[in-house]
Amino acid sequence: MKALVWEGPRLMNMRDVAEPEPEPDEVLIKVAYSGICGSELGGYLGENTLRVPPLVMGHEFSGEIAELGSQAARHKPNLAVGQRVTVNPLVHCGWCRACLAGRFNLCQNREILGIHRPGSFADFIKAPAAMVYPLPDHLSLEHAALAEPVGCAVRAVKLAGCTAMDRLLITGLGPIGLLTLQVAKTFGITKIFATDTDPDRREIGAEFGIRVVDPRAEDVVSLIKSETNGEGVDAAIDAVGAMATRKECLEAVARGGQVIFVGLHEEESAIQSNLVIRSEINIQGSFAYTPLDFEAGLVWLLAGHLRIDPWLLKAPLAEGGACFERLLSKPGPVAKILLHA
């Protein structure tokens, strides 16, 4: 089969590779659409320690079941060949302490499709049957490929603990930031600030009726303090992962506030430790999602709560390398790129 293989920093090529053969508890899926994740951009540059070349990336995807392993029905009896599906790509063991506590995303033995196992930038991918979700007819395969990043957004907003009366800052309006914004509004949060250095993404964010700030042109912290009686926001979610955005969140949040780090751009950042201590700021990492978060994201997609179509770009898998380069330079009014065969 054909696959887009990452072979080193800024080096991706279409290759002929062996078609995967599903294990008894697995399902073989013909990939329809596969989204490019922001964390994969770091991998593409060689800056993500989890990804090692040569690697077939891709973990946000949808498709059709091509083959069922002999024991697949034991794990999920409602699966059938030809069925339209999406997949939770975070594979957990189910028996470590984290799994037994329901924190499957922190599984000691976790593996992620497209990182530890071959991913969806290919004609076919195999996945554990237990992680496969059949789709109703009214959900498009394009939208189904967004279930994974929506699950990430759901978890970040849940960890922020905001109520409808709280004030929230989101730094970065890339795919996760934009989806986090919409999930927060679905939670009932109305006072939302967002930042982004890209004018096209600021324009996208403004369409949701929130205050969007260019951090290069305005002092974000001063602006937020002036509009919150000097207090700051109740919670801040950093969807970038740069030292500047992490610092911004810590300075913009109120005393006793919650800061969620979800962006993975930089491996390490200096933080204002004394400010954190004196203001009793809570810093929480947000990694991926639990199965319930993933399912909640899928339910919201089914209900039509999230809007991304105007900023969704589809491109052939063979143009994947060029799409990565576009996202790293000037993507334009694009929130997500979906690759297809």
**Confidence band for 316, pLDDT divided at 50, 70 and 90:** very high
| Same domain assignment for residues 139 and 233 | no
Strands 336-340, 26-35: pairing is: antiparallel
In a domain, 294, yes or no: no
Residue 86 sits in the same domain as residue 173: no
Strand 132-134 versus strand 167-171 pairing type? unpaired
- Asked whether residue 45 is domain-assigned, the answer is yes
């639990």: which residue's tokens?
290
User: Has residue 303 been placed in a domain?
Assistant: no
Residues 141, 185, single domain; the answer is no
* 293 inside domain: no
Euclidean distance between CA atoms 140 and 11, whole angstroms: 31
The confidence score (pLDDT) of residue 227 equals 96
**What's the pLDDT at 18?**
97
- Domain contains 35: yes
For range 234-262, the mean pLDDT: 97
Please give the residue range of the domain that contains residue 260. Answer: 152-285
Contact between 121 and 58 (Cβ < 8 Å)? yes
How does DSSP assign 228-269, residue by residue? Answer: TTTS-EEEEEESS--HHHHHHHHHHEEEEEEEEE---S-S--
Is 320 among the domain residues? yes
Residue 336, domain CATH: 3.90.180.10
Q: Does the residue 299 lie in any domain?
A: no
Percent of the chain whose predicted confidence (pLDDT) is above 90:
92
CA-CA distance, 293 to 101, in Å (whole number)?
15
Residue 47: the pLDDT is: 87
Q: How confident is the model at residue 304 (pLDDT cuts 50, 70, 90)?
A: confident
Based on the domain organization, do 49 and 141 belong to the same domain? Answer: yes
Confidence band of 50 (pLDDT split at 50, 70, 90): confident
Q: Which is nearest to 333 in space by CA: 192, 140, 169, 173?
A: 173
Whichever domain contains 160, its CATH number is 3.40.50.720
Residue 27 in contact with residue 79, Cβ under 8 Å?
A: yes
Q: Looking at residue 219, what is its pLDDT?
A: 97
pLDDT of res. 305: 85
Report which DSSP code applies to 310. Answer: G
- Judgement on whether residues 325 and 229 belong to the same structural domain of the protein: no
Q: What is the pLDDT of residues 215-243, one digit of tens each?
A: 999 999 999 999 999 999 999 999 999 99
Phi-psi region of 58 (alpha: psi -120 to 50; beta: other; left: phi over 0): left
Please report whether residue 292 resides in a domain: no
Domain tally, the chain: 2
pLDDT in tens, 58-78: 999 999 999 999 999 999 999
Give the mean pLDDT of 116-128: 98
Q: Are 97 and 197 part of one and the same domain?
A: no
